[in-house]
Amino acid sequence: MKLIILKPRSKFYWLNRRFRVSLILLQTKRDLILSPLISLLTLFDYDKYDVDLLLFYQRGLYLPLIPKEVNVIEPPGFLKRINKGMKSNLVQGDLKALYLRMGLSISCRNPLMTKKYHGAQIIYKWLSKGIENLDKEYDVAIAYSQGMPTYYVSQKVKAKRKLAWMNIDYKVAGYNKDFDIKYYNKFDKVVAVSHSCKDVLIKEIPSLENKVEIIYDIISSKLIENMANEKGGFSDEFDGIKILTIGRLVHQKGYEMAIEAAYKLKQDKINFKWYAIGEGKLKEKFENMISSLGLENNFIFLGTFQNPYTFLKQTDIYVQPSRYEGYGLVIAEARILQKPIVATDFTVVHNQIIDGKNGLISQMNSDSLYKCVKRMIEDENLQNHVCENLKKESPGTEEEIFKIYHNFFLFSCIFNFYLYGK
């Protein structure tokens, strides 16, 4: 990490200086670092920017893909201590960590708390009492996810400019806006990954209207195509219709609808397998559902992979059964690989899919999803029509990096002119 020393050589000194940037990302034990972050880090100009990356949990299949120029810094020491568990805290005599861990555990089981606050808000209410400030000062600090990263950057990171990312439907996600306002007020910009994300956020927190800017998730077509062409993918040698869904095994992703749709496809004696890539807290529930419907050989959880794009390239149909999304990232990735797409009618799906042109949009229920998937399987002309239209699209968003640079650069111009321009 280079030491940055400002010297008043001229009022144009900012043109040549390097900028110190921090990215803060919450990564749970089962999460992947998704392609937008990898794409962003790959596209950064490291001749101009020194980048620190803080992962709250330094685990993830994508870790080896982080560019060598990025300095991955250690998570706060208190976070490591509290993650050891209450038994370890007790044995080591770490009474503060033990107290906060017990308080957090009780709060997460209190229906009065869980009804009022989002899980991330409850966690931060307790962790903030012990978690340390980041000891460096940055030109720009980016909270690359809502929730914990946003609260941490707002309260615990020193930076001349702060940006917060919003990549969900804020209203549906269930955050307590009164809790959030005090944190978002400390940011210079709030980045929404779609027009819908922006509209919902402003409606829920009107005071942020002048701060919100749209920057689409950065998706590198070249990165995805290169990864898709690597070795890997399906190993079961199944020669029927391969259907794929990628996403965490949580309520948001709508796997119940997908499983019920798969059952109806089986009743029609269609030769298919529906694969799912992802992990999550509802895996056991979904597996029990699959077992009760006799779908063990038709609906298959593959787990997680560093490179899911080999599977996506080899699939026949991609299905996104989500209840809500901030953008619909995997849909964009399926579009890059020109795969027939079926998606539920969540809020932002129309930003990417035109029904009947480059995919099909089903209603938010299993019967409609089943009918759309069946139609995509059986109508070869529709498949060809969709794929031909996808070939004409350019879903990659590499140019969004310049909007991010603009936020850095504009601030730098103003800051340095103030210092040296008189």
| CATH number (domain holding residue 186) | 3.40.50.2000
Q: Is 231 in the same domain as 172?
A: no
The confidence score (pLDDT) of residue 18 equals 65
Domain limits for position 227: 221-391
At how many degrees (to 10) do helices 95-108 and 119-127 cross?
160
Asked whether residue 127 is domain-assigned, the answer is: no
Structure tokens at 37: 């972050």
Structure tokens at 214: 């749209």
Asked whether residue 420 is domain-assigned, the answer is: no
The confidence score (pLDDT) of residue 19 equals 66
The confidence score (pLDDT) of residue 29 equals 39
Cβ–Cβ under 8 Å, residues 349 and 363: no
**Residue 352 to residues 209, 318, 363: CA-CA distances in angstroms?**
24, 14, 16
Q: Is 210 in the same domain as 253?
A: no
Structure tokens at 296: 């063990």
Please list the pLDDT of the chain residue by residue as tens digits (422 residues): 333 333 333 333 334 456 676 666 554 433 444 567 888 888 888 888 888 888 876 665 567 788 899 888 887 777 777 777 777 777 777 788 788 888 888 999 999 999 999 999 999 999 889 888 988 888 888 898 889 889 999 999 999 889 999 988 898 888 999 999 999 999 999 999 888 889 999 999 999 999 999 988 888 888 889 899 999 999 998 999 999 999 999 999 999 999 999 999 999 999 999 999 999 899 999 999 999 999 999 999 999 888 899 999 999 999 999 998 888 889 999 999 999 999 999 988 998 999 999 999 999 999 999 999 999 999 999 999 999 999 998 877 777 788 887 776 544 444 443 333 43
Whose tokens are 């794009």? That residue is 309
Asked whether residue 382 is domain-assigned, the answer is: yes
Cβ–Cβ under 8 Å, residues 104 and 122: yes
**Which residues are 244's β-sheet partners?**
275, 318
Q: Is 146 in the same domain as 196?
A: yes
Asked whether residue 160 is domain-assigned, the answer is: yes
SS3 helix, strand, coil % of the chain, rounded to 5? 45, 15, 40
Q: Is 181 in the same domain as 237?
A: no
Cβ-based burial of 9 (10 A; exposed 0-12, middle 13-18, buried ≥19):
exposed
Total Cβ atoms within 10 A of residue 351: 17
Sequence letter at residue 84: K
CA gap 115, 265 in Å, rounded: 37
CA gap 153, 17 in Å, rounded: 24
CA gap 96, 77 in Å, rounded: 13
The confidence score (pLDDT) of residue 411 equals 47
The confidence score (pLDDT) of residue 11 equals 38
Q: How would you label 370-380 residue by residue, b for 16+ Cβ within 10 Å and e otherwise?
A: bbbbbebbeee
Angle at 142 between CA 136 and CA 148, to 5 degrees: 95
Helix and strand numbers, DSSP H then E, in the chain: 18, 13
The confidence score (pLDDT) of residue 76 equals 79
Cβ–Cβ under 8 Å, residues 244 and 277: yes
Q: Is 201 in the same domain as 321?
A: no
At how many degrees (to 10) do helices 366-378 and 255-267 cross?
50
**Which strands make up the sheet holding 341-344, listed edge to edge?**
299-303, 272-277, 241-246, 317-320, 341-344, 360-362
The confidence score (pLDDT) of residue 201 equals 94
Q: How many domains does the chain have?
A: 2
Tell which residue, 345, 363, 357, 369, has the closest CA to residue 264. 369
Asked whether residue 303 is domain-assigned, the answer is: yes
Is the pTM higher than 0.85? The answer reads no
Q: Is 272 in the same domain as 190?
A: no
Cβ–Cβ under 8 Å, residues 41 and 53: yes
Q: Is 265 in the same domain as 402?
A: no
Asked whether residue 88 is domain-assigned, the answer is: no
Q: Is 143 in the same domain as 287?
A: no
Cβ–Cβ under 8 Å, residues 322 and 252: yes
The confidence score (pLDDT) of residue 31 equals 43
CA gap 118, 349 in Å, rounded: 24
Q: Is 368 in the same domain as 402?
A: no
Asked whether residue 197 is domain-assigned, the answer is: yes
Q: Is 197 in the same domain as 52?
A: yes
Q: Is 257 in the same domain as 337?
A: yes
Q: Is 38 in the same domain as 174?
A: yes
Say if strands 241-246 and 317-320 run parallel, antiparallel, or are unpaired: parallel
Say if strands 158-166 and 189-192 run parallel, antiparallel, or are unpaired: parallel
Whose tokens are 């208190």? That residue is 78
The confidence score (pLDDT) of residue 8 equals 34
Asked whether residue 1 is domain-assigned, the answer is: no
